[in-house]
Amino acid sequence: MAQISVVMRIVSYSAGGAARLGFLEGMEVVDLESCLDRSHPHMITRVTELVDPHIYGMVKQAYEQVKGGSDKLKRIEATKVKILPPVENPSKVFWLDGNYPVHNLWEEFGLALPSDWSKWLPAMFLRPSSSAVGHESTIMIPEFVDKVWCSAEVGLVAGKTSKWIDLNEASEHILGYTVTIDMASEVPQINGRRIDQGNDKSWFSLYGKWLDDLSPIGPCFVPKEFIDIDNTRITLKVNGEIMQDFSTRDRFFSMEEILYTASSLMTINPGDIFATGSSKRKPFNLRDGDLIEAEVDGIGLLRVHMDMKKGRKP
């Protein structure tokens, strides 16, 4: 499938009031309401409303006005609004490990990569919805955390309530995609009290995954029909230096396999987010004031800032 030349990027934003939806076009946000037929009974304010085929069709029709360059639409400079996470308060935020060569759990434990991935399951863990923050957010790190790092990833947005679905049906349960940054840290102690049990150091990383702000998501949402997600470039920059540059074609598990696996374990709700894994990166630890930029071709660039000032209490 060839890359789509025209991409409908939907953004959730606030301009001093309640959340609204719009289209992200370059450096501007085009308000969705200004594009809709006035006969529509209520304002569409959440990405998860696009689960309804009728509403999704209306949004696509509204975007035709944007593509046509209508001068009657409400356009706002993107820097003058607050860009919110594409999905407000997702019920679950999943993160994958071991989905790409080199940067995976197999290498970490000195194991040979399997030759047949169809016999294995994706390695997933959950984060709280309070970890989700949007574009241009400041990542606030508590004083007991010193070591923090990150990776760029594609974020899958679930589109249906899913439980024990068939693998062949999984694509129908995907709404679209966004950009995510997997931020991780180590937390060996909190206020002098240690976390590890005996020699088990895995809790250092597990506690370090649960912090607020460590799941940046955005800046927009792209419906699945507008992107070739199986052949998409992903990059990560820290203070302008490239730390990662890889493609989704290198991953082990398909988007459908990821959603299928999760639905076999628990009920997946519309708007649930899956950060789908990451590949090799340069070794680095983040510092106070660092600028992080994750970009997925066909979706957009997600930017956040680090605040690691000492003296902050949890």
Q: What is the pLDDT of residues 183-242, one digit of tens each?
A: 988 887 887 788 766 666 677 777 888 889 999 999 999 999 999 999 999 999 999 999
Same domain flag for 25 and 150:
no
Same domain flag for 61 and 178:
no
Same domain flag for 49 and 170:
no
Same domain flag for 29 and 141:
no
Q: Which pLDDT value is given to residue 313?
A: 56
Same domain flag for 55 and 204:
no
Same domain flag for 71 and 126:
no
- State the pLDDT confidence band at 25, using cuts at 50, 70 and 90: very high
Phi then psi for 207, rounded to 5 degrees?
A: -60, -35
Structure tokens at 23: 């289209």
268 burial type by CB count under 10 A (0-12 exposed, 13-18 middle, 19+ buried): buried
Compare 39 and 255 and report the one with higher pLDDT: 255
Same domain flag for 27 and 59:
yes
Phi then psi for 227, rounded to 5 degrees?
A: -150, 140
Is residue 1 situated within a structural domain?
Answer: no
Amino acid letter, 161: T
Is residue 4 situated within a structural domain?
Answer: no
Is residue 3 situated within a structural domain?
Answer: no
Structure tokens at 204: 């250092």
Q: CA dihedral in degrees (73, 17, 272, 4; nearest 10)?
A: 20
The structural domain count of the chain equals 2
Q: Which pLDDT value is given to residue 40?
A: 61
Same domain flag for 39 and 98:
no
Same domain flag for 60 and 167:
no
Model confidence over 130-156: pLDDT tens digits? 999 999 999 999 888 878 999 999 999
**Domain boundary residue among 54, 83, 112?**
83
Q: What is the mean pLDDT of the chain?
A: 88
The CATH number assigned to the domain holding 297 equals 3.90.850.10
Q: Which pLDDT value is given to residue 71?
A: 75
Q: Hunting for tokens 């970009």 — which residue is that?
A: 295
Same domain flag for 203 and 55:
no
**Domain boundary residue among 53, 83, 113?**
83
- State the pLDDT confidence band at 86, using cuts at 50, 70 and 90: very high
The domain of 149 spans 93-307
Structure tokens at 45: 């304010």
Same domain flag for 78 and 211:
no
Mean pLDDT on 18-28 = 92
Same domain flag for 74 and 181:
no
